[in-house]
């Protein structure tokens, strides 16, 4: 049987979207059938289903996936999202951490990729005066007490799903601290809309982070490119740089670079292009 969709015509986000639609329509799918239909390996399909499960769009089963129960799509737990694309996030985290210098004041959102950045910062022992502002409980715990790093936790309501703090109570911190760099994750990145999140409460605090920072770095693996969630929080022209993996769509990368936005594609995907994001002076 020939593939239903030409392999070269379908990027991973497009394939995952079509798989999600198939699950919604049919109620269940099999890995072997999807592999034939899309002309890819069963391993690739299993990775697609892992991504879709992380987005609460499917429930993986032995040999396939089924539609989630009910009509709502709850936000996946932090622990589930942290397991997705670990190699890519680890490389993205290392590249982002390399942009941080002693004396900086930086801000992290509550994304799982930002947690990887924090872990790389923790591995560096030469800090004398680094200030980290975050609404992430996990990041605050990761860096608390580390020599040379001061952690400022934003106030507000605790969201158990993301282990984050949200609400307007944290805005006052940004009026008192000069922020050099913001590192933010996103559910989606498009040229037209910029960075988007699925939850308005998270997007609200991210807007404050973006507004306060001199430089904004988007931490997005290849599955986020070309996708758009409901809540926008950062225009494309406000982004200083994007740190991603080697499977980011080349045409979108070229368009961002033409806009003057630096794109760093790090090892972790199928291809490993050389880094194009240099340390700012």
In the chain, where the domains are located: 7-74, 82-266
* Helical packing angle, 86-97 and 112-123, nearest 10°: 50
pLDDT tens digit string along 215-274? 999 999 998 999 888 899 999 999 999 999 999 999 999 999 999 999 999 986 443 333
pLDDT tens digit string along 78-120? 565 556 667 889 999 999 999 999 999 999 999 999 999 999 9
Q: Which string of b and e fits 170-207 if b means at least 16 CB within 10 Å?
A: bbebbeeeebbbbbbbbbbbbeeebbbbbbebbbbbbb
pLDDT tens digit string along 15-56? 998 898 888 878 889 999 999 999 999 999 999 998 888 777
Q: 204 - beta bridge partners?
A: none
The residues near 80 (Cβ < 8 Å, ≥ 6 apart) are 53, 54
| Architecture of the 82-266 domain | 3-Layer(aba) Sandwich (3.40)
- Residues 7, 10, 16, 19: is their CA dihedral positive or negative? negative
> For the whole prediction, is pTM greater than 0.85?
no
Average pLDDT of the chain to the nearest whole number = 85
Contact 185, 117 (CB under 8 A): no
What gap in Å lies between CA 216 and CA 185, rounded to an integer? 11
Rounded to 5 degrees, φ, ψ at 58 are -140, 165
Select from 239, 280, 105 the least CA-distant residue to 178.
105
What gap in Å lies between CA 134 and CA 152, rounded to an integer? 7
Q: 243 - beta bridge partners?
A: 219, 264
Pick the CATH number of 7-74 from 1.10.10.10, 3.40.50.10800, 2.60.40.10, 3.30.465.10: 1.10.10.10
pLDDT tens digit string along 131-187? 999 999 999 999 999 999 999 999 888 988 778 998 877 677 888 889 999 999 998
pLDDT tens digit string along 187-232? 899 999 999 998 898 999 999 999 999 999 999 999 899 988 889 9
pLDDT of residue 183: 98
What gap in Å lies between CA 47 and CA 30, rounded to an integer? 13
């Amino acid at each position: 049987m020939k593939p239903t969709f030409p392999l070269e015509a379908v990027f991973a986000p497009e394939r995952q979207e079509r798989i999600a639609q198939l699950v919604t329509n049919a109620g269940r799918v099999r890995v072997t059938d999807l592999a034939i239909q899309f002309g890819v390996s069963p391993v690739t399909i299993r990775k697609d289903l892992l991504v879709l499960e992380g987005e609460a769009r499917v429930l993986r089963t032995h040999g396939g996936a089924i539609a989630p129960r009910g009509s709502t799509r709850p936000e996946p737990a932090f622990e589930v999202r942290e397991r997705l694309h670990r190699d890519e996030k680890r490389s993205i985290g290392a590249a982002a951490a390399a942009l941080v210098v002693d004396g900086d004041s930086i801000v992290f959102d509550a994304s799982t990729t930002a947690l990887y950045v924090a872990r790389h910062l923790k591995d560096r022992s030469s800090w004398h005066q680094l200030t980290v502002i975050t609404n992430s409980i996990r990041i605050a715990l990761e860096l608390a007490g580390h020599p040379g790093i001061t952690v400022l936790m934003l106030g507000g309501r605790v969201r158990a799903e993301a282990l984050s703090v949200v609400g307007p109570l944290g805005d006052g911190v940004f009026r008192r601290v000069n922020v050099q760099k913001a590192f933010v994750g996103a559910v989606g990145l498009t040229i037209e809309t910029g960075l988007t999140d699925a939850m308005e409460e998270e997007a609200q605090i991210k807007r404050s982070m973006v507004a306060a920072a001199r430089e904004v770095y988007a931490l997005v693996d290849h599955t986020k490119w070309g996708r758009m969630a409901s809540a926008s929080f950062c225009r494309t022209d406000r982004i200083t740089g994007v740190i991603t993996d080697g499977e980011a769509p080349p045409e979108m990368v070229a368009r961002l670079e033409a806009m003057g936005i630096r794109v760093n594609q790090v090892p972790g995907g199928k291809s490993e292009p050389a880094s194009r994001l240099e340390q700012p002076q």
